[in-house]
Structure 1
Amino acid sequence: MASVTRPATEAWQRLAHGNDRFIAGLPEHPHQDAGRRAELAEGQRPVATLLGCSDSRVAAEVLFDQGLGDLFVIRNAGQVASPSALASIEYAVAVLGVPLVVVLAHDRCGAVQAAIDAEQPSAPPLPPLIAAHIDHIRPAVRAAADPGSRAVGEAHLEATVASLLAQSELLAAAVADGSVDVVGANYRLAEGRVERRFAVGEGA
């Protein structure tokens, strides 16, 4: 009897293949024509939802070579598990039925560096709203194996996924019943490669 590929696994494979095309400089730019636009006018069925950084160099549809209706993307500086990000992910899972949640960090992240800098005793004060946002990343500075941005970024990625599951009963239940996987990944700016770092769920 042939094995059946889980939707979350299939969704990740699709994104990984798209990233391979992007790295090779051979993107297909799928689902970006008038026909696709018309097809989506009455609704959407994305294959995954993605929480990523607002950094202008980390546009998910580009680096995964996807198009209209393929990804449900939430972005903020440093991919923080904010209330609005959590609510958006819950919408994607509960209403849109996505089988895969990807949390995408990246190297040389300005928000991560700001959190590192903010831990210094001589650091100048940040504007209040920026400081409040960066506060979500500062625990990773203390938890990281070393003070470099790569180690802090990895610690923050792990903490973000843990925070999503701890704060959202809906997402945690979906992972527990096997309907959703959560993948923590990191994007290398120079190489263009998305590295899958870890996963939570049946396909982990």
Structure 2
Amino acid sequence: MRPSPEEALVKLLEGNRRFLAGEQSHPRANIEIRRQLTLGQEPLACILGCADSRVPPQLIFDQVIGDLFMVRVAGNVLDDVVIGSIEFAVAVLETPLVMVLGHQNCGAVRAAIEHKDKIGHLRNLTERIEPVFACCKDPNDPEEVAQINAKEVAKRLRLESLLATRIEAGQLKVVAAYYEMHHGTVQILSES
């Protein structure tokens, strides 16, 4: 049976506590788990997270292969492909939780703040973060920008009709969260 949106969030936060305590319960995926996953997937949550190699959601939430449907893009920004991927997780896989996971020391956020947009297609990325500056007390503070960015992305996702319908029916929760790399903790910033 699928967990409720609330149960899915509790399971992720419990996994983060195990991660912090060094008591991971899923150190490796065994052969039987991999065999089961060839029959299909029922992820506990969809995580929209940054592509940063220092922020591995399966580890920081102590989840095994198949538990998380991952959508990763630098700066956890939205475009039609990202939204389509999230809608796939929700509509096809019936995932009860979508988490937008921002993080400390985000390079994409720093690039937007420092206007490092002259490098190839980086401009396409930074221009999706820059509107968040208007919502910040200090638009030069990368940690504030990363947190506000996660909240704004979650807010926008909640307005997508497919997601909004499921939120209203109690079948889905969309949360914004922030990973503090120094401590390993995940803080919930906003919930639907």
TM over 0.5: yes
- For the 8 Å contact 1:48–1:98, the answer to whether it is kept is yes
* Residue 83 (structure 1) shift: 1.3
CA RMSD in angstroms, aligned pairs only = 1.4
Aligned to 2:55: 58
2:76 aligns to what SS in structure 1? coil
Aligned to 2:133: 141
- For the 8 Å contact 1:31–1:66, the answer to whether it is kept is no
Q: What are the ranges of 5 or more consecutive residues in structure 1 without an aligned counterpart?
A: 1-5, 119-123
Partners of 1:176 and 1:193 in 2: CA distance? 29
Partners of 1:82 and 1:164 in 2: CA distance? 11
- For the 8 Å contact 1:102–1:182, the answer to whether it is kept is yes
- What are the within-5 Å matches in structure 2 for residues 121-140 of structure 1? 125-140=117-132
Fraction of identical pairs, as percent: 38
2:4 corresponds to which of 2, 7, 10:
7
Cα shift readout 1:86-131 (whole Å, capped 9, x = no counterpart) = 001100110000111011000110001111111xxxxx65224110
- For the 8 Å contact 1:108–1:150, the answer to whether it is kept is yes
2:143 aligns to what SS in structure 1? helix
Aligned to 1:70: 67
1:164 aligns to what SS in structure 2? helix
Higher gyration radius (CA):
1
* Residue 165 (structure 1) shift: 2.6
Query: Which stretches of structure 1, 4 residues or longer, exceed 6 Å deviation after superposition?
Result: none
1:45 corresponds to which of 34, 42, 45:
42
TM-score by length of 2: 0.94
Report the AA paired with residue 50 of structure 1: I
Aligned to 1:156: 149
1:99 aligns with 2:91: no
TM-score by length of 1: 0.88
Partners of 2:68 and 2:121 in 1: CA distance? 28
1:178 aligns with 2:175: no
Change (3 A) 1:44 1:31: farther
Report the AA paired with residue 179 of structure 1: Q
Q: What are the ranges of 5 or more consecutive residues in structure 2 without an aligned counterpart?
A: none
Instruction: Report the count of equivalent residues.
Output: 189
Cα shift readout 1:19-70 (whole Å, capped 9, x = no counterpart) = 1011111111167111111111110101111100000011100110101110
Report the AA paired with residue 111 of structure 2: A
